[in-house]
Amino acid sequence: MAELKLIHQLGQRLELKARPDLIQSLKLLMEPILNLEQILRQRLSDNPLLEEVEQQEKADEVSVSNSEEQDRKGEENLDKIDWQEFLGEDHEYNYSGGYRDLSINKDSDLPEMVTVAEKTLFDHLMEQLGYAKLDDEQREIGAYIIGNINESGFLTVSVEDIADELKIEPEKVRKVLEVIKTFDPVGVGSRDLRECLLAQLQEQGLRDSLAWDIVDKYIKNLENKSLTQLAKILGTSPERVQMAMEVIRSLSPTPATGRFVKGAMAVVPDLIVEKIGDDFVIFHNDKNLPQLRINQSYKSLIKRGNSSSESTKKYIREKLEQARWLINAINQRRNTMINVMEAIVQEQREFFEHGESHLKPLTMEQIADKVGMNVATISRVANGKYVQTPLGMYEIKYFFNTGVATDDGGELPKRVVKTKIEDIIKNENTATPYSDQEIAKILASQGIKLARRTVTKYREELGIKAGRYRKQVSKT
């Protein structure tokens, strides 16, 4: 897949310029740690300007931080720089993992790989629907829409067809569909390739780019037009069209490509939460990730700078930029995940101190506001990533949940209420099991306001049969 290294050159109409390292960070943020390791190994193979720091060097090296101004200046003057000075010891770009920064040895208590049950795209979307701020009618509409999204992430029926089937106004369907389109993965709920690609460009801040114009207006006719023809239609140069096409080719043709596969999958936590003294400390589990730096053996070639051919210098320039962007993107991914998890731990401290019964309602919007990121970024961190805690392994999105009102004006997380329902049923007399209405009354006596139909919904989500099917006749 082509690198997005030319996005900042897409032309005068690109009002919002997205830094390539940030765009790479968004892509890498979607990947769990096992996938990330494979991606980095592949990049090492593809880019000769990258190399892996050997184990002994990792122990001896001191990571050097580089200011943003140095990055910008180096990028602007790439054709004029003194290559030897540019690649001196003070200008290396290293990827230093979380454990490598610790003075303690974490090898002995690293979490083992575990397997989790398969998750379908339907499951993934329904979970996000549960977190969304929607009323009961909108949730029913959302569930119907999700039921008509195929495994690739495309909506297979029209808004009008859904409205006719549900006997409601199309505008109600459109409103809920717009919410679903904000779910992970990017582009889910699109009707076709055009919508899918536009969603990804929008996510990358490329709403006003040449790439957007091409997808928006000419995607159906691209096969029949040459770069020259397309450039003439757009009133620009073939070179700019080529740059835009590189961006388009880097996008996924379907929203859910390769994300949801059948069968159990192995997971390794991206993050680890440990209690050290009175504090909870977050570690990034990157022990098995290759630590990257600029290939030392290429220094001698780069030092020759002006004596190298233009094609050689261009090749090295491009690979050097790609290497730097990748290293920056990995660092950004790690920092983002740690910052988000630190905020979650602060908000859910009672859970980490006392267990699952102390989980409290928490939304992605709350964490987004706390860390100064958008909700889409929080969603990327939460979905498909796991954290090892003193209480066990959890998917990060476990800590986000809606609340149920209580008599004292507070809220209890839906998961806690479900646990209470489960406990009530476990302790019932199996000869006369509780009806859902009776369970609602018991919850009310505990200060939890829940309608009978909501009890039914939660019970079914727990996979528990209705009372009449739970009845057991004692043998005499």
The 10s digit of each residue's pLDDT in 356-377 is 778 888 888 899 999 999 888 8
What value does the mean pLDDT take over residues 235-257? Answer: 86
Report the pLDDT value the prediction gives residue 413, as an integer from 0 to 100.
76
Q: Are residues 273 and 395 in the same domain?
A: yes
Strand partners, 190: 154
Q: Are residues 371 and 466 in the same domain?
A: no
Phi, psi of 265 (to 5 degrees): -130, 150
Helix, strand, coil percentages, rounded to 5, for the chain = 55, 10, 35
Q: Are residues 368 and 410 in the same domain?
A: no
Decide if pLDDT at 82 tops 60: no
Residue 12 pLDDT level (bands cut at 50, 70, 90): very low
Q: Which tokens belong to 429? A: 């007399």
Q: What separation in angstroms does the CA of 224 have from each of 218, 227, 229, 252, 396?
A: 10, 10, 9, 21, 46
Please state, for a pLDDT cut of 90, what percent of the chain lies above it. 20
Helix (H) or strand (E) holding 442: helix 436-445
Q: Are residues 428 and 375 in the same domain?
A: no
Neighbours of 84 (CB within 10 A): 13
- What burial class does residue 294 get, using C-beta atoms within 10 Å of its C-beta: 0-12 exposed, 13-18 middle, 19+ buried? buried
As a whole number of angstroms, the distance between CA 459 and CA 371 comes to 35
Report the pLDDT value the prediction gives residue 177, as an integer from 0 to 100.
95
Does 176 map to a domain? no
Report the pLDDT value the prediction gives residue 73, as an integer from 0 to 100.
41
185 CA to centre of own chain: 8
User: Of 374, 399, 424, which residue sits at a domain end?
Assistant: 399
What value does the mean pLDDT take over residues 50-68? Answer: 56
What value does the mean pLDDT take over residues 351-357? Answer: 84
Does 458 map to a domain? yes
Q: Show the beta-strand stretches assigned E in 295-358.
A: none
Q: Which tokens belong to 166? A: 């549900």
24 by DSSP, 3-state: which?
A: helix
Does 450 map to a domain? yes
* CB-based contacts of 168-172 (< 8 A; 24+ apart in sequence): 168/141, 172/137, 172/138, 172/141
As a whole number of angstroms, the distance between CA 302 and CA 91 comes to 14
- 118-158 per-position pLDDT tens digit: 667 888 888 888 878 888 889 889 988 988 888 889 998 88
Residue 189 pLDDT level (bands cut at 50, 70, 90): very high
Decide if pLDDT at 17 tops 90: no
Neighbours of 419 (CB within 10 A): 17
Handedness of CA 380, 153, 138, 394 (dihedral sign): negative
Q: Are residues 346 and 458 in the same domain?
A: no
Report the pLDDT value the prediction gives residue 93, as an integer from 0 to 100.
47
What value does the mean pLDDT take over residues 405-422? Answer: 78
Please state, for a pLDDT cut of 70, what percent of the chain lies above it. 74
Query: In terms of pLDDT, which residue wins out, 403 or 303?
Result: 403
Q: Which tokens belong to 239? A: 């070179």
Report the pLDDT value the prediction gives residue 312, as an integer from 0 to 100.
75
Does 173 map to a domain? no
Q: Which tokens belong to 455? A: 């009890």
User: Of 399, 428, 444, which residue sits at a domain end?
Assistant: 399
Q: Are residues 386 and 430 in the same domain?
A: no
Among all chains, which residue has been given the structure tokens 């690293």?
110
CATH number at residue 427: 1.10.10.60
Q: Are residues 458 and 442 in the same domain?
A: yes
Q: Give the range of the structural domain holding residue 439, as residue numbers without chain letter.
A: 403-470
What value does the mean pLDDT take over residues 448-455? Answer: 85
The DSSP 8-state label assigned to residue 373 in this structure reads -
Query: In terms of pLDDT, which residue wins out, 85 or 457?
Result: 457
Could you tell me if 251 and 201 are in contact, meaning their C-beta atoms sit under 8 angstroms apart?
Answer: yes
Residue 306 pLDDT level (bands cut at 50, 70, 90): low
Q: Are residues 431 and 418 in the same domain?
A: yes
Does 390 map to a domain? yes
Q: Are residues 278 and 375 in the same domain?
A: yes
29 by DSSP, 3-state: which?
A: helix
- 88-102 per-position pLDDT tens digit: 443 444 554 444 444
Does 191 map to a domain? no
Query: In terms of pLDDT, which residue wins out, 130 or 201?
Result: 201
The DSSP 8-state label assigned to residue 10 in this structure reads S
- 322-345 per-position pLDDT tens digit: 888 898 889 889 999 999 999 999
Q: Across all residues in the chain, what is the average pLDDT?
A: 77
Does 203 map to a domain? no
Closest of 288, 306, 345 to residue 99, by C-alpha: 288
Q: Are residues 414 and 351 in the same domain?
A: no
Region of poorest pLDDT, from 63-67, 125-129, 409-413: 63-67
Query: In terms of pLDDT, which residue wins out, 259 or 143?
Result: 143
How many domains would you assign to the chain? 2
For Cα atoms 129, 174, 396, give the angle at the middle one, nearest 5 degrees. Answer: 20
Phi, psi of 279 (to 5 degrees): -110, 150
Q: Are residues 345 and 391 in the same domain?
A: yes
Does 384 map to a domain? yes
Q: Which tokens belong to 172? A: 């109600």
Q: Are residues 420 and 349 in the same domain?
A: no
User: Of 351, 372, 399, which residue sits at a domain end?
Assistant: 399
